[in-house]
Each structure stands twice: as C-alpha cells, then as structure tokens.
Amino acid sequence: MARTKQTARKVPISRMSKNTNTLKIAKTPSPAKPKRDNSDTESEGEDQVTTTTTIGSSADSTEFADIVVGPGQMKIISWNVAGFNAVVGKGFREYVEKEQPDILCLQETKMAPAKVPKSAIPDGYEYHFIAANRPGLHGTALLTKTKPLSLKFGIGIEKHDNEGRVITAEYPNFYVVNTYVPNAGTQGLQRLDYRIKEWDKDFHAYLNNLKATKPVIWCGDLNVAHHEIDLKNPKTNKRSAGFTVEERTSFGDFLSQGWIDSYRHFNPDKTGAYTFWSYKSKARETNAGWRLDYFIVPNEFINSIKTTFIRSKVLGSDHCPIGIVVDA
C-alpha cells in the first residue's frame, strides 16, 4: 500500500493579493423554533443565523479583537473546513489575516499537498498538508508562524495513516496534535467497530505515550458529542454517528486517564455552544448543532490555557473555527 503523501513548505513573503470572495459572518436575529437535526455525523450561546455580512465590512472591523494574546502566549485555531478549495473560494485567507492565529489546524482538507494553492496561504505562515491515499477524502493541514521543532505525519500505523488524519507538531513547551477522527458511518454505523476497537484504541495510546514526554494539545474534529449538552437534539440522535453510547463511552474513558475538555472545563453549563451544523434542514439557522470540535489537554496543563472560544459566526463550512490562547 502506498504511503501517505505529505509535504512541508515555507510560504514566500509576497504582496497580498485582493480576494473578492469573502467569508461570511453571521448576524443574530430573533430566535426561531428549532427543527430536528437528523445529521448522522456530527457558537457560542444560542446564535441564530439568517442574515450575513462579510468579514471585510466596517461593521465587523473589531470582530476578532475580542481575544487578547499576551506576551509569551499563542493563539491556536482549529477548523474543519470541509474542503480546502471550497473555503479558499469563500475568503479563507481574509479570515486568517483577521484572526491572526499563531497556529492554525485544519481538518477535512481534501487536498493533495502538491495542489495547495500558494496564493491562499497568508504571508508569514509555514504550511504542511497531509492527504489520504484516496484522492478527495479526509486530510489535515497545519499553518504555523513558528517553525516546529519536529513534525510527524500519522501515528505510525499504516491502516490509520493512509487516511491522512493526523499531524503532530512539536514546540518547545508542548505538542500540538491536529486530528480528523474517523466518522462512525455516514450511512448507518458501518465504521463504528473500526472507530472504537481500532482507531480509538491505537490513537489514545499514541496520545498517552506522547504525553509522557511533553504536554499535548489535542485538537480537531473529534466526531463525538460527549454529553447531551453538546448537541441540540440528543433524544433523536441516540444511534447517530457521533452520539452513540460506544463513542461517548470511549471518549469518556480516555478523558478519565488524565485529560480535560478545555472548553467544557471553562464553560461547564453553557448551552447552545456548537461547532457543527448539518447542511440539512437549515440546521445552522435554528442552531440545531453539535459540538464535535475540541481542544483536549492533560489535567496538569489546564492552567496554561487562558481562554477558549468558538467562532460560531464564521461561515464557509458546516463547522466553525474554535480556539484557545495558551502560555507558550
């Protein structure tokens, strides 16, 4: 079987080109009655979405100024973009230039490394893409202002690595593990056994072994809503991928080994905080969402996390960006 394709390229500094395709930011109208979310996969507060403005408009000039990054700190963003080419056409570069993350982790890029459009990468970022062996599926990417001490693509197990789901970047005080966790099944639960008995088993061991050498920041689309508070319609999704007892139990068992869901740690009772909305049934308009995207850290590292946030108003994908500010 062919090895997973990978690349590491430094972006040349060049003049910034204008992008007429701008990512949308949602405005909040009056609440509407939610509809059932029948998503089989996978915002702070009860955001409702019907009207939009662009990131570049004067009304949104301070949209991303709410998160303060102090000296010796880094802002890390994670986002399932549901196709890099697609989000590039919706203002990806403009969003990154506004947000200014120090590290940006992308999932479901569906992008072969050799085909990455250099013009889509903002100035000053080193970028690394990994692709699945099957074209047009899965994939992850890392954009970083600070050159990592080391990079690893995959976890060293071919049956997992051929889907391009993991990039591990080492920094002086922590690892960042960017992950697109396998979905248990978009048509039924055909990959549930693989997800629980193979992927979770091997990947959780990888994280625990890594943690023994240095703190780990695990982020990405983890394809699980851990508790009922983490999705709008738990009662109707008991056997939906991402909310099965098996997936939730496996995730909970991993957390019990000394790991913390950073967003829920700081927002234990926050409702309506979702990161994914199915394209079906106008789920985003009614905030019938799921929280599938996470930053997970070791218990002893939680005090290094200064802020957690969800960019629920940033459109362009069926997921929205999430972020943390961390002592670097």
Q: Is 180 a catalytic residue?
A: yes
66 known member of a binding site: no
What is the three-state SS of 49-109? CCCEEECCCHHHCCCCCCCCCCCCEEEEEEEECCCHHHHHCCCHHHHHHHHCCCEEEEECC
Residue 318 assigned as binding residue: yes
Q: Determine which one of 128, 138, 204, 319 is catalytic.
A: 319
The reply to whether 319 belongs to the active site is yes
Location of structure tokens 């990161």: 275
* Phi and psi angles of residue 297, each rounded to the nearest 5 degrees, phi first: -135, 160
Collapsed DSSP state (helix, strand, coil) of residue 45: coil
Question: From the CB of residue 46, how many other CB atoms can be counted at a distance below 10 Å?
Answer: 16
Q: How would you classify the pairing of strands 293-298 and 216-221?
A: antiparallel
Reduced to 3 states, what is the DSSP secondary structure of residue 241? coil
**128 appears as a binding residue in the annotation:** no
Q: What is the distance between the alpha carbons of residues 314 and 323, in angstroms, rounded to a whole number?
A: 12
Catalytic-role residue among 95, 127, 180, 263: 180
265 marked as binding residue: no
Task: Please check if 223 is assigned to a binding site.
Answer: yes
Largest CA distance in the chain: 53
- Find the catalytic residue in 161, 221, 230, 261: 221
Coil, helix or strand at residue 259? strand
Residue 293 is a catalytic residue: no
The token pair that represents 247 in the structure block? 């997936």
Q: What angle do CA 312, 233, 250 make, to 5 degrees?
A: 85
Are 140 and 179 in contact by the 8 Å Cβ rule? The answer is: yes
**Which residues belong to the annotated binding site?**
80, 108, 221, 223, 318-319
Residues marked as catalytic: 180, 221, 319
Q: Which residues are annotated as a binding site for Mg(2+)?
A: 80, 108, 221, 223, 318-319
